[in-house]
Amino acid sequence: MVTQAKIGILGGSGLYKMDALKDVQEISLETPFGNPSDAFIVGNLEGVSVAFLARHGRNHHLIPSELPFRANIYGMKQLGVEYLISASAVGSLKEEVKPLDMVIPDQFIDRTHHRVSTFFGQGVVAHIGFGHPICPQLAAILGEAVKSLALPEIDLHQGGTYVCMEGPAFSTIAESNLYRSWGASIIGMTNLQEAKLAREAEIAYATLALVTDYDCWHQDHDHVTVEMIIDNLHKNAINAQKVILETVKRLDKNPPVSEAHSALKYAILTPREQIPAETKEKLSLIINKYL
């Protein structure tokens, strides 16, 4: 049995490790969906066992379209993760959401076009509810953690829509303005698939989005480039670790009940006896309790 952790962290651009993690074990997992982005780092965060994964790999070698989303989420499930916190770099689509601010989105718009975002198929059909794609309880704890830190000059925006684009190129001005006209707050390239797969795996998921830029719509700011956001990525990585540490402590003290933990209860349509044995085996970790 591999070491278990109830809380998982997906580190995005800029956040490739958690400095406060002690007694770490590197765990390389194989999953029925291939290899995750990197080894999981399981360790002790002020007395709480957590599993950390750098979603682009610790050396940032995977573009968003190459991310093994299913393997990453399945790996978290294998480690026993029930609450998953994503830390992600995002561009701002609203004037009042400024670089270095934090956003805890509650909605997504999917603008990706060639990604697999389900564990189902191959003889088993399931449709999870995804009206509320982010776990509200976990998002609330993240928000309380941010507020408790009172980080100078950093505003917290609780709620908002995250546009998930394919990338890796950034948006055109026309696209950026279109997303603004839809009322979206932030744009990134990674969180939608994770949120969907986490829900299918009955893991509560929430995003701590760390703003690096104003994308390309703002007339008073240069269009986003990697070079111009490096500094903000570093600053955000420091702040993200503070927020995660505080969130983990609160979660450990009061783990909330989340609807995500029973998301599959009414989702599986295929008569159990019709599900191919191979598929049952492949998805056993996720569907066994409903067979």
Ligand X SMILES: Nc1ncnc2[nH]cnc12
Binding site residues, as ranges?
Answer: 13, 55-56, 88-89, 189-190, 213-215
193 in contact with ligand LNRAV4D5 (CB under 6 A) = no
Residue 233 backbone class (left: φ over 0; alpha: ψ -120 to 50; beta: rest): alpha
Residue 13 backbone class (left: φ over 0; alpha: ψ -120 to 50; beta: rest): beta
Q: Applying CB under 6 A, which of residues 15, 89, 138, 209 lies at the interface with ligand X?
A: 89
Kindly state the number of chain residues that form the binding site for ligand X, as judged by CB under 6 A: 12
Antiparallel, parallel or unpaired: β 107-111 and 161-165:
parallel
Q: Which partner, ligand LNRAV4D5, ligand X, none, binds residue 55 by CB below 5 to 8 Å per kind?
A: ligand LNRAV4D5
d(CA 248, CA 116) in angstroms, rounded, equals 30
194 in contact with ligand X (CB under 6 A) = no
Kindly state the number of chain residues that form the binding site for ligand LNRAV4D5, as judged by CB under 6 A: 12
187 in contact with ligand X (CB under 6 A) = yes
d(CA 207, CA 9) in angstroms, rounded, equals 10
Give the nearer residue to ligand LNRAV4D5 in terms of CB position, either 31 or 236: 236
Upstream peptide bond of 256 is cis (omega within 30 degrees of 0): no
| Sole window of 30-38, 132-140, 184-192, 234-242 interacting with ligand LNRAV4D5 (rule: CB under 6 A) | 184-192
Per-residue contact track with ligand LNRAV4D5, 47 to 86, x per CB under 6 A? --------xx-------x----------------------
- 171, 90 Cβ separation under 8 angstroms: no
d(CA 43, CA 24) in angstroms, rounded, equals 4
Catalytic residue check, 213: yes
49 in contact with ligand X (CB under 6 A) = no
Task: Point out the catalytic residue in the list 215, 220, 222, 231.
Answer: 215
Give the nearer residue to ligand X in terms of CB position, either 63 or 291: 63
d(CA 157, CA 111) in angstroms, rounded, equals 22
Helix (H) or strand (E) holding 91: strand 83-92
Straight-line distance from the first to the last Cα atom of the chain, in angstroms, rounded to the nearest whole number: 23
108 in contact with ligand X (CB under 6 A) = no
Which active-site residues does the annotation give?
213, 215
Query: Which residues in this chain contact ligand X in the complex, by CB under 6 A?
Result: 89-91, 165, 170, 187-189, 212-213, 215, 224
